[in-house]
Structure 1
Amino acid sequence: MSAAAPYAGLSPDLVLDAVAATGLRPDGRLLALNSYENRVYQAGLEDGGFVVAKFYRPARWSDAAIDEEHAFARELAEADLPVVAPLVFAGRSLLAHAGFRYALYPRRGGRAPMLESREHLEWMGRLIARIHAVGARAPFRHRGALDRAAFVAAPMQAVLASPLLPARLADAYRAAGARLDAAIAARQAAVGPLRTLRLHGDCHPGNVLWTDAGPHFVDLDDARMGPAVQDLWMLAADAAAMDALLDGYAQFRDFDPAELALVPALRAMRLLHYAGWIAARWADPAFPAAFPFAAEARWWEQHVADLGEAAEALA
């Protein structure tokens, strides 16, 4: 295993052996699921059904941080919330096999939510409020926060250290990023102190599956501390959608309307983080294949322009 290709040794046989190490009996069926940060597989079982095996990227999270993620998922499930929690074997949900850390999950199907439906948006708002009610009980201690250090400084450092950024754009990128960072800081200061809580953290439509019984959430891999609005804004295509989400949210939990002013700053932080994430992971062979545009100078030219526009909008 190497930092450049952390999953080079993760063969199909190794995945099946890891499932079998828990006492389950895989039947040989294996399907790689869409995931870049980690590696995720659906494995068939001899007794019927499937499990989902998630292999964690080495060095991204500490064991303590992954244990917190799992404990949060179990806490939500025990509160009768539709969140997929990891399976437990001999008292442990974070497992290890052949140098890889992994967890097994029950397979839960579903379809994409209809975010143009006010009924669906209100339902999502109610569910997120209930998740936040549990998330507010206690803080994370090992998973960090949604802050400028993690979502501005670190990704900018990764981009500036990467060969992907054309040398002629380095000064422009550094200046645009600094302006945007200052604008983000100013917006946060203007909004003032906010309550933070344990969040899903990456609450976009792809992490919500809808069934006839309603929505359920998957993938708490980005769970961290932050303001409640972080779990709402990526589901809202416009002001009307946000209104619907908040109407549902208010049925179970109070929402501080001052947090809405943070949405442009959160969107800008995600913009910076996305480029930094690709740059930091570029040595992983999956990334050039999935994000070939990042090797093109024109994409970085547009990214620098987008940073400048985001800073102007925030100002």
Structure 2
Amino acid sequence: MNYYQLTPDVIADALVSVGIYIDSGLMALNSYENRVYRFKSDTDGILVAKFYRPHRWSRQQIQEEHDFLFALDDAGVRVAVPLIRDQNSVFEHGNMLFAVWPSVSGRQFEADNLDQLEALGEQLGRLHTVGEQFVLHHRPQLSTDDYLLRAQRVLEQEARIPNRLRGEFFARLNEVVEKATALYRPKQQLTLHCDCHVSNILWRDGLWLLDFDDCRTGPAVQDLWMMLSGSRQEQLLQLDTLLAGYETVREFDAAELSLIEPLRAMRMVNYMAWLAARWSDPAFPANFPWFNTEDYWQQQIRVLSDQLQSLDAVPLSLTSWN
């Protein structure tokens, strides 16, 4: 089967193989790394099927994500858990792995709503309490080797950067990689969501955490820092609100705040490399037309220069707020 041309018939056949029948409404959702479809089944209501991109995660690594979701659900964390058929949650059809979830509907999470932000902190505290005990044996750590050094090599080999900009771009990139690598020294590692941003959170009678596809081991602050934006004072207010909820469940190590800017650099560089590596997938040029343009790479030179300054700046501190 061709992952890049999943037809409705192929999707239906895969679902039928695990006893799920499409009643109506098969619709592709906004997902690029995997292929995700929403539909109404004749017995289980509205469901979401995810077909995993080949060679990204092994079956064991996908199963670990699912097992973590089951553990979180058992602990009262609001997450969607995949359907189980014949004691399995990871299915295979042809040469593709897939899974099926009940659809979770709700309002978009409001990052500027302090009540919702505090609720997020509390849910992340519960998630990390489970994550301290749930050991990943097959999924990787959040590391500079992967997010910076590997990503740097991908950009050198695959990014279509205009020749006149390559020198300046890689000079800035190399500085960011060197500085962020030196600063990223996490002490405690636990199992994380790892991609906790507003698009992966819904509000429906409370907060729901979605899409654990990037789940891996790393420092707790990785699941917090993407909620911080605006001026330094605004970020301190957001952080204080998040931790008000978080610390009703578990203590947060304030020393991890020094990891925020290295983590931001890692996400920034990895994102550029992800787009470059996926450019042969027809979905990417269609949905990211601005990537690989001269304007884009000029902007990234400016972004990397700004990030160098952020890496040199004094980290956020709870004492400066209190």
Q: Secondary structure at the match of 1:151?
A: helix
CA-to-partner distance for each residue in 1:208-261, whole Å, 9 max, x for gaps? 0101x2011111000001000000111222221111001110110000001111
Answer whether contact 1:164 1:294 (CA < 8 A) is retained: no
Say whether the 8 Å CA contact 2:26–2:38 is kept in structure 1: yes
User: Which of the residues 194, 197, 209 maps onto 1:217?
Assistant: 209
Q: Matched residues in 1 for 2:87 and 2:287: separation?
A: 37
CA distance in 2, matches of 1:98, 1:28: 23
What is the distance in 1 between the residues matched to 2:56 and 2:4? 17
1:177 and 2:173 are equivalent in the alignment: yes
1:246-265 matches, cutoff 5 A: 246-265=243-262
For residues 46 and 184 of structure 2, the distance between their equivalents in structure 1, rounded to whole angstroms, comes to: 45
Cα drift, residue 156 of structure 1:
1.6
Write the distance in 2 (CA, Å) between the matches of 1:208 and 1:147.
24
Q: 3-state DSSP class of the match of 1:51?
A: strand
Answer whether contact 2:155 2:276 (CA < 8 A) is retained. yes
Query: What runs of 5+ residues in structure 1 fail to find an aligned partner?
Result: none
Residue 143 of structure 2: aligned partner: 147
2:9 maps to what in 1? 13
Question: Where do 1:87-106 residues align within 5 Å?
Answer: 87-106=83-102
Tell me if structure 2 keeps the 8 A contact 1:53–1:102.
Answer: yes
Deviation digits for residues 156-194 of structure 1 (CA, Å, limit 9, x no counterpart): 2222112522223223222212111121123225xxx51
CA distance in 1, matches of 2:247, 2:85: 38
SS in 1 for 2:26: strand
**Partner of 2:292 in structure 1?**
295
- In structure 1, what residue type is equivalent to 2:213? D
Deviation at 1:69, TM superposition (A): 0.5
* Contact in 2 for aligned 1:16/1:28 (Cα 8 Å): no
* 1:22 paired residue number: 18
Partner residue of 1:59?
55
Provide the alpha-carbon RMSD of the alignment: 1.4
2: CA distance between counterparts of 1:235 and 1:165?
Answer: 31
- Is the CA contact 1:179–1:308 (under 8 Å) kept in the aligned structure 2? no
- 1:127-276 to structure 2, matched below 5 A, reads 127-189=123-185, 193-211=186-204, 213-237=205-229, 238-276=235-273
In 2, distance between residues paired with 1:154 and 1:295? 19
- For normalisation by structure 2, the TM-score amounts to 0.92
Shift of 1:48: 5.8
How many residue pairs were aligned? Answer: 307
Greater mean alpha carbon deviation, residues 269-278 or residues 16-25: 16-25
User: Which stretches of structure 1, 4 residues or longer, exceed 3 Å deviation after superposition?
Assistant: none
Give the counterpart of 2:105 among 106, 109, 116: 109
Residue 147 of structure 1: CA displacement? 0.9
Which residue of 279, 283, 291 corresponds with 1:282? 279
Q: Which moved more, 1:51-60 or 1:76-85?
A: 76-85
1:64-91 deviation digits (Å, cap 9, x = unpaired): 1111111101111111211111111111
